[in-house]
Structure 1
């Protein structure tokens, strides 16, 4: 039987989560808790009663205002119930047992709390009961239980052009406008506004035009700026300058920035895309665009906007390019592709008929068609298709939000838990670039990720995220790899409970639970937030530093689950932080904090603590091991931090640690890593504090299969080193074979353990060896089958690289070595004299970049043939006397690191092969080589 497409009402998963918490609390039948349990049983009954009518209420809220108001009141009451249950469970978990035979949940502290708080519990339960009772007056119907299992749509990665149907004519007309050498009488550039309703494909079309070969060839400079809600001229002009010149620009003087931009545009023909312009006065834009008048004639500005009024600021209405709706046939092409409906299905004729009716209801809007096609992807049950077609949501009238019914229906059919996750994203500004892993941490902190057996919360959150991507609610950013953007549909469903920014001067509602700020001084918040005392989320999504008075936040908002103060100046973290018993996510990254209060360790529920780039942080609280629910501790870039607190091994749920600083004592030594299953990127520093191999063995690095990137760092302490002991220590730090990248810095042994060159490490793609000053021999790295990037530096005792570098003792010196290597760099190798390459071995067949610098005694030789070499850089190698390798792909000099570089610098003796060995060489630079042996007649042509 096919799974139902309708995943349940928005509040269904919230009610289910509360029932789960209640079940846990009601399992305790201690006589002293009878009164409490009676109240909780009443709460449970109300939740079960209301759960049955939520599906009906979900659909009626758009047509019956009283139902919509009731859902708002119900959600408010559920938040109060959630706070209550979290407080009860936290008090139970952190209380001291009365004696070893009694559980913590029955402690005297909890008994006292229950006795003092029965009235408070009664008030919350009464509020829920009162709201639930109103359902009878609204004539809400009980519906059959909805299948809550989420169906999954395969994630795809399609080129932008493959999503375009019916836009060929639009594309060619816009390209024609861009390439036509016309301009206004008083300006060298032309503005071309494209406008149309949300979801019609303006941005997609602009991207297609922007990357067209004819357009790329026609303009000296192309710049893309996503304006969205941020039409601040300072932001726009800095973004433009940053796109033209990647050098950091911290200037905030508008006049200076205008002059800088003018200088960069003089003599150039440019194309500027201003994508998603929402507002802004005509005078503001005219002033902003003054520097563009100094560019060449034929320059163009392509503007996309949903508003004809905005387009009119730039050109008369008759000159706008209004993007029209797609034809039904083109919409059907989009729908067919995204639904993957197969013509081989027996039911195809029936499904096509239903599908075409669905497409007709989308009224030519490609985003709606694509979204609904994705919703039905690989679904062949006729009933599933009819549910979409016959849904009442199609009949709902349009409102001020301009959210089209087709997008509403795609949201309507999301599973309940995904609805809540998506709506939470309404805290992000439109077109905000967000990170998948960061968003999952926020969902976890808000209890939006529900546990599944045999799966981590992070993995479950990843499943949620991928489902939203598959349904086109999230899309990959076109500007930044690895980041995502979303449609602003989320704000339509957020209501009073979510508040984003203060640009509209509104006061925050008393029902607000989630708040974010961007571009607004945090100092304005106390007055605006005075009523939102039950707030659960405060997110700062601005990149600018802010002044903040943390005392206000910590005293005013005791229900916070998420608190993000990153980049806040003059931040002091008071002892009262320990009173935020609900807190699960705390971000203090890029702040000037020096220490953290010990009271932080009272935060029993804390899951995520972000302290990255807190440069002045000197120590962590001593009782960090009390944070037993901590899953993510980010201390990357905390350069003043000297050691870890004691007892980190007690943090059994720690998933991401980032860095561990080995201490001098057993309680904070390397053994503490044993029970911790670290994920992702991980650095172990101060390995000089490891005394022997048995300590290293207890770190159990070989069991940590989720580490992708590993860095092992020693810091010289000036003492005499037992090199055999060092080798044994590194031997026992052997990582799991899933490892992808490895860096070894400061290792003090003379040779490396055998594991480092084993071919079984088939996933390693990148390896760095730096500052291993005692090393006399390299491991057999040529056996690593997937190694693509290798850097070796500051190995002062290494004099010769020989056969051992390519093959281990068990392999014959034949065949291919370093078969996947593309990048090889040696630098600061003061003792390296000889590089030997065995005659019978095929080495470096895919090597594209070879860099040798600051190797003052190296005398040769280089590999004889490097068939894929594109870049050869040799510098400060005074004794080098070598023949260039046969490198047919070596082409030109390009000093910024692009392919095709050949530079030879400060090499006293160089022998060049005849030109025939370098048939594609166009440019060769040789400088400060006073003992050059021979220079062939290169015969360059202009």
Structure 2
């Protein structure tokens, strides 16, 4: 059985009336599918846009920020745009990216330069797309070229990418702005030029742009995925290399690339220790500035990492790492240190914020004790339980992300105002409202993501005075109104915080997660939040309504921008509010049987109220 047959076999027994829609840019693929299916097939060949449609799309991107692009001031530009459109082959992607090029300078000379470009005259979509990135200023072209190192369809995280650009020296400093803010603007520029696009909340490159740009930057960007061994034979002068393999022989070959500035290594083989290979890499590739190693079974990082004297960013993903090499403290230029342990993240997500007792005494020894003396270290991320126990973490010069514990270090937060992400664990140890008030959360004007955690235990009997204390602590942890994401875990209070009932104080929230808040019954007016996109409730046994008289009325349509709603173990909830047209996903699990009865696919009387939602999952 061929690969195509294996792919299509599950689709052979669809219900009568079912249709399979396959999109491809290759006529040979369409014919092959038709041959394998052996059923009647219809092939549609999509033509390009009409010139007037293409012109409207081009102008939409070329005149971004212009109040009236059709006025006399832009008359000559509109004429040139009409000539450019004739060379775009009716491609909507070409219209968008060339529109982004034109928007760089609304000057007739610049637009004529684009019109007369040889690349635009080659009657080739690849040449047209190439023009969009060869004209980028150097600082943006470096950032874009780096993105071509990753495999096709790779999704980009904006903050991670900005950290990498900073590590590689791509960000030009500017007075009055942080490097992260400048890098964010660079990223937004690539998005505005359609070189990176947002798809369902994720950022990625369009296939055509990726294929064109990968070839153009092939001398500096290399990638090896699975068994594509030939990709490692292209050039020994690679600057950026991405390797994903289970073959230890491939890892051994990385040492030949002596001019690498960045290395992404994904090695997921079982029972294989790659320490010896890493030692060779650390000895040979001494120009590395960015190192990302994902090796779940890696037990230690060799001390030879101290050879990488130019290293700016180190990220390790694994399960078994118990200590970092002591030689880290010799890496003078190190700016970013990140260790992710996915297993621990999942465990903590369920509400267990404690490090096992036998490992707590090792937390302070996880890093070299003198690493805080590194002059350029600006960001550190560790598994939650480690970072909340390391005593000197508050001494870092920059903290875009911070984890602290009410048991030990909440007092450090008072004068720390430059982080964007904050998680406070074990809030049950905060002794009074004054301690919470002194944190001055509302003064953290860069804070966009806040998580507040109380340790939960079903076996505990919470005294009424403690419940009142927890409620008052939450009242005094009011965040700034720039907050975008709020998560509250294990809160034992019976009421909402005072600031949560004032929509103006949480006006900009886009995501809310409430987990294990077992006494909470009446929710704040979340339905009135104009930008709320995601609402997740889990283990909330007393919540009866998502929308009360506080959560929506005739003047304010409830949840106007909601995209995702997830209800997990909310047993008292028996009715859903009128959900908005914007909603794309609804997941209900372990809730009252009445919900499935009313909204279920099998004849539920209220199913029509949610039928507009593309993805629905309801289970009791």
Q: TM-score normalised to the size of structure 2? A: 0.72
Question: What residue is the counterpart of 1:262 in the other structure?
Answer: 9
1:596 maps to 2:318: no
> After the TM superposition, which residues 621-632 of structure 1 pair with which residues of structure 2 at under 5 Å, given as runs?
621=367, 623=369, 625-626=372-373, 629-632=376-379
Bigger mean CA offset, 429-438 vs 443-452: 429-438
Distance 1:405 1:696 in 2: 59
Distance 2:136 2:491 in 1: 53
> After the TM superposition, which residues 697-712 of structure 1 pair with which residues of structure 2 at under 5 Å, given as runs?
697-712=437-452
- Cα displacement string for residues 316-336 of structure 1 (whole angstroms, at most 9, x for unaligned residues): xxxxx6x77778777656545
Distance 1:600 1:379 in 2: 46
C-alpha contact (below 8 Å) 1:575/1:598 kept by paired residues:
yes
Q: CA RMSD in A?
A: 5.1
Question: What residue is the counterpart of 1:608 in the other structure?
Answer: 336
Q: 2:282 aligns with which of 554, 576, 599?
A: 554
- Cα displacement string for residues 304-360 of structure 1 (whole angstroms, at most 9, x for unaligned residues): xxxxxxxxxxxxxxxxx6x77778777656545543494432562x44554454445
Distance 1:531 1:849 in 2: 49
- Cα displacement string for residues 212-254 of structure 1 (whole angstroms, at most 9, x for unaligned residues): xxxxxxxxxxxxxxxxxxxxx87x88xxxxxxxxxxxxxxxxx
Partner SS, residue 279 of structure 2? helix
Q: 1:301 to 1:654 in 2, by over 3 A?
A: farther
Partner SS, residue 429 of structure 1? coil
Question: What residue is the counterpart of 2:114 in the other structure?
Answer: 388
Partner SS, residue 428 of structure 2? helix
Question: What residue is the counterpart of 1:786 in the other structure?
Answer: 529
Shift in Å at residue 713 of structure 1? 1.2
Shift in Å at residue 653 of structure 1? 1.2
Question: What residue is the counterpart of 2:181 in the other structure?
Answer: 459
Partner SS, residue 760 of structure 1? helix
Shift in Å at residue 688 of structure 1? 2.8
Partner SS, residue 241 of structure 2? strand
Question: What residue is the counterpart of 1:742 in the other structure?
Answer: 486
Q: TM-score normalised to the size of structure 1? A: 0.50
Shift in Å at residue 412 of structure 1? 3.5
Distance 1:524 1:874 in 2: 45
Q: 1:279 to 1:898 in 2, by over 3 A?
A: farther
Q: 1:534 to 1:272 in 2, by over 3 A?
A: same
Distance 1:898 1:597 in 2: 62
* Structure 2: runs of 5 or more not aligned: 345-354, 611-617
Partner SS, residue 615 of structure 1? helix
Distance 1:362 1:872 in 2: 43
Question: What residue is the counterpart of 1:538 in the other structure?
Answer: 263
> After the TM superposition, which residues 304-315 of structure 1 pair with which residues of structure 2 at under 5 Å, given as runs?
none
Question: What residue is the counterpart of 2:413 in the other structure?
Answer: 673
Distance 1:640 1:347 in 2: 59
Distance 2:70 2:157 in 1: 38
* Structure 1: runs of 5 or more not aligned: 1-232, 238-257, 303-320, 808-813, 824-847, 885-889, 904-924, 928-942
1:894 maps to 2:620: no
Question: What residue is the counterpart of 1:45 in the other structure?
Answer: none
Shift in Å at residue 427 of structure 1? 0.7
Question: What residue is the counterpart of 1:273 in the other structure?
Answer: 22
C-alpha contact (below 8 Å) 1:682/1:711 kept by paired residues:
yes
Distance 2:131 2:552 in 1: 60
Shift in Å at residue 720 of structure 1? 7.5
Distance 1:670 1:897 in 2: 49
Q: 2:192 aligns with which of 452, 470, 474?
A: 470
C-alpha contact (below 8 Å) 1:633/1:654 kept by paired residues:
yes
> After the TM superposition, which residues 626-641 of structure 1 pair with which residues of structure 2 at under 5 Å, given as runs?
626=373, 629-635=376-382, 638=383, 641=386
Question: What residue is the counterpart of 2:204 in the other structure?
Answer: 484
> After the TM superposition, which residues 289-368 of structure 1 pair with which residues of structure 2 at under 5 Å, given as runs?
292=37, 297-298=39-40, 332=55, 335-340=58-63, 342-345=69-72, 348=75, 350-360=76-86, 367-368=93-94
Q: 1:365 to 1:628 in 2, by over 3 A?
A: same
Q: 1:458 to 1:299 in 2, by over 3 A?
A: farther
Shift in Å at residue 539 of structure 1? 1.7
Distance 1:521 1:354 in 2: 54
Partner SS, residue 450 of structure 2? strand
Shift in Å at residue 504 of structure 1? 2.0
Partner SS, residue 271 of structure 1? coil
Question: What residue is the counterpart of 1:563 in the other structure?
Answer: 291
Q: 1:354 to 1:612 in 2, by over 3 A?
A: same
Distance 1:441 1:369 in 2: 31
Shift in Å at residue 447 of structure 1? 0.9
Question: What residue is the counterpart of 1:524 in the other structure?
Answer: 250
1:646 maps to 2:374: no
C-alpha contact (below 8 Å) 2:452/2:488 kept by paired residues:
yes
Bigger mean CA offset, 339-348 vs 586-595: 339-348
> After the TM superposition, which residues 818-857 of structure 1 pair with which residues of structure 2 at under 5 Å, given as runs?
821=558, 854=571
C-alpha contact (below 8 Å) 1:680/1:707 kept by paired residues:
yes
Q: 2:304 aligns with which of 570, 576, 579?
A: 576
